[in-house]
Amino acid sequence: MNLTREDPARLLRRLAWTGAALACGLILLGGVVRITGSGMGCGDHWPRCDGEWFPPLDLATLIEISHRWVAALVSLFVLAIAAVAWRRHRADRSLRDPAALAAVLLVLQVLLGAITVKLALPPWVIITHLANAMILLAVLIMVALRAGQGRPGEGALPRTERHAAHGLVHATTGLGFVVILFGAQTANFHAGLLCLGFPFCSDSALPPAAPLALLPWAHRMLAFAFLALVITLVVRLRQYSPDARPLWRAAQVTLGATLLQVGIAAAMVLHLLPAGLRALHLLVGTLVWASLVVLVFRSSRTRAGARVRASKADRRPSLAADLVTLTKPRIISLLLVTTIAPMFITPAGLPSPVLVLWVTIGGYLMAGGANAINMWFDRDIDDLMARTRLRPIPAGRISPALGLGWGISLAAVAFAMLWFLVNPLSAGLALAGLLFYVFIYTVWLKRSSPQNIVIGGAAGAFPPLVGWAAVTGRLDLAAIYLFAIIFYWTPPHFWALALIKQADYARAGIPMMPVAYGAERTKYEMLVYTLMLIPLTIMPTLFGALGPIYGLAAVLLGARLLWYCIKLRRERTVTPLAWGMYKYSLLYLALLFAAMGVDRAFPLGTREPDPSKVIIFNNPGEELATPVGIHLGH
């Protein structure tokens, strides 16, 4: 009894949250009824099934009657909510009114369900049925939120006291509801297959000529506009004071759910609308809608004074800027060069522009996810180093949980994109590179061994394998050579930076080569790896895989890198020359891989590769691959 007096809305809140959860399940089950064609599983009888309360069950009947029994359970909870609100909270209109509205919506929902069955599933009734279900879900969530807001009677702020972005929140929510309605129309008019391809219909942003195909096209355009609004909202709310953090977090949840929904939609369309993905699309869409309801609730209780207008000197980077920073875009730019260049030198011929686009996006997202997870794990030592202490996580601008979630989300989207839009081998190689970087280098070797860069640096050598496999669907000896080039390039490149930042690494307790063995030993090792690297880069020309343009570039670029190593070794102390070598090594690798593409475009004296001498690792007896392109199914 004491608990009831201390929290008088506890029972109502629990009933409302349970009812909302059941309503989500009911919406999903209704989608399953439609997807499996079980809508007439009970004939045109209602509320009984084939004239019986407990009829013989085949699959269609089981699905349809399960939907009806869950609907009956939701009805009981809605009526209980209305009764509790009337008996215990009659004086509180913020609880009584929405609970009464839920009961009215329930009656309407039951009538729509009966009409749907009696009229043999007309699309316009089914769409109205779904729209009413979404509104009922929103009302139940609102009752639950209001019942848990604190003092009874504590309601939304007056319009004049609400924050400046409140109108944007309402516009985003309204557009989200419209997107759901267009999605329902697309599904119920069976128009999904009229708009194949992603992100556009048949690779064109223009509306299709067929009238019915306009439905899925409009659904996509509205969905992209909705995503843009959610991103804008998150960026704007990032500038608010800590008092508005609940609103900002709600917007972040909405953004995450929306990105997941877009990814599922892409997979669904490219795999010709499989039933499982269609059901998942409906479920995540329902969760997006639920997050929008929470967003509106938080927004109506956030005051206008929540915004912080920082001076230029004190202004912090935006959330979007910090999330991009977590991906280390400067590093990724070089990784993308080493991913894309091999796509143009395979024996399978030139890749399509669309394939290059998907590999570029997928490669960036996978590498960005790996870098974000790396920053999350290294947040303790990043705080000790001058070079890294201003990164978003150690600086406190992004929470560790958000940083980790961001990294995992990017990796998941990248893997799905490469798997479904390119091929499984490229997706597996990209994921292997991430796992190697995170677990072998970041978690294990970086803090335990001076050989961390030598062994762990292999993670940076995976991009050429991804690009090669994306075009050919396999790996051969040339791809392994590209892997080896980056493997041997990494130690002299990174140790040049380690020489400059030796004190930082020592302070953080990281056993980089200069910290563990000193500058002289490090310079010697850099020279050794460079002497192994240069002949390796020339070998493709000697074997006839690449021509004289690349061979000349490899010799000249390698000579300059060797000059840096020799001159650095002769110096007694660490001078700016080490920084010069570090910067040149970045340029070296980019130009070396660019030279491969130029050489293939202008093959002066290049011999055609003999298929019998090309080593195919996963299918040794097969002929050279043709460009794989984009897969619609596997």
Domain count, the chain: 2
Report if residue 334 sits inside a domain.
yes
Nearest to 482 by CA among 346, 580, 611: 346
DSSP codes joined into one string, 283-323: HHHHHHHHHHHHHHHHHTTSBGGGB----TTTPPPPHHHHH
Residues 89 and 235 reside in one and the same domain: yes
What is the reported pLDDT for 50? 61
Residues 112 and 51 reside in one and the same domain: yes
Residues 181 and 299 reside in one and the same domain: yes
Nearest to 20 by CA among 142, 184, 129: 142
Give the separation between CA 147 and CA 574, rounded to whole angstroms.
66
Q: Which tokens belong to 36? A: 């499996």
The residue behind tokens 């396999």 is 474
Question: Domain range holding 175?
Answer: 2-149+162-305
Residues 248 and 102 reside in one and the same domain: yes
Report if residue 380 sits inside a domain.
yes
Give the separation between CA 593 and CA 465, rounded to whole angstroms.
13
Residues 95 and 130 reside in one and the same domain: yes
162 neighbors 300 (Cβ within 8 angstroms): yes
Give the separation between CA 27 and CA 183, rounded to whole angstroms.
14
What is the reported pLDDT for 488? 95
CA angle at residue 23 from 278 to 5, to 5 degrees?
Answer: 150
Residues 179 and 219 reside in one and the same domain: yes
Report if residue 625 sits inside a domain.
no
Give the separation between CA 378 and CA 451, rounded to whole angstroms.
18
| CA dist list (Å): 153 to 8, 9, 293, 433 | 12, 11, 20, 55
Give the domain CATH number at 536: 1.10.600
What is the reported pLDDT for 627? 43
Report if residue 71 sits inside a domain.
yes
**CA 97, chain centre distance (Å):** 39
Report if residue 329 sits inside a domain.
yes
Give the separation between CA 353 and CA 378, rounded to whole angstroms.
37
Residues 501 and 604 reside in one and the same domain: yes
- Count of helices and strands (H, E) across the chain: 23, 0
Residues 275 and 360 reside in one and the same domain: no
The amino acid sitting at 388 is: T
Q: Using the 3D structure, point to which of 305, 339, 374 is the last residue of a domain.
A: 305
User: What percent of the chain stands above pLDDT 70?
Assistant: 87
Residues 101 and 205 reside in one and the same domain: yes
The pLDDT tens digits for 361-394 are 999 999 999 999 999 999 999 988 888 888 999 9
Q: Which tokens belong to 362? A: 């997928």
Residues 263 and 329 reside in one and the same domain: no
The pLDDT tens digits for 390-443 are 899 998 888 899 999 999 999 999 999 999 999 999 999 999 999 999 999 999
Residues 264 and 341 reside in one and the same domain: no
Q: Which tokens belong to 154? A: 């504590």
Report if residue 369 sits inside a domain.
yes
What is the reported pLDDT for 241? 64
Report if residue 618 sits inside a domain.
no
What is the reported pLDDT for 65? 76
What is the reported pLDDT for 30? 84
Q: Please state, as a whole number, how many other Cβ atoms lie within 10 Å of the Cβ of residue 268.
A: 21
Residues of the chain where predicted confidence (pLDDT) is lower than 50: 1-4, 152-153, 308-314, 606-607, 609-634
Report if residue 310 sits inside a domain.
no
Residues 382 and 487 reside in one and the same domain: yes
Give the separation between CA 503 and CA 494, rounded to whole angstroms.
15
Give the separation between CA 403 and CA 413, rounded to whole angstroms.
16
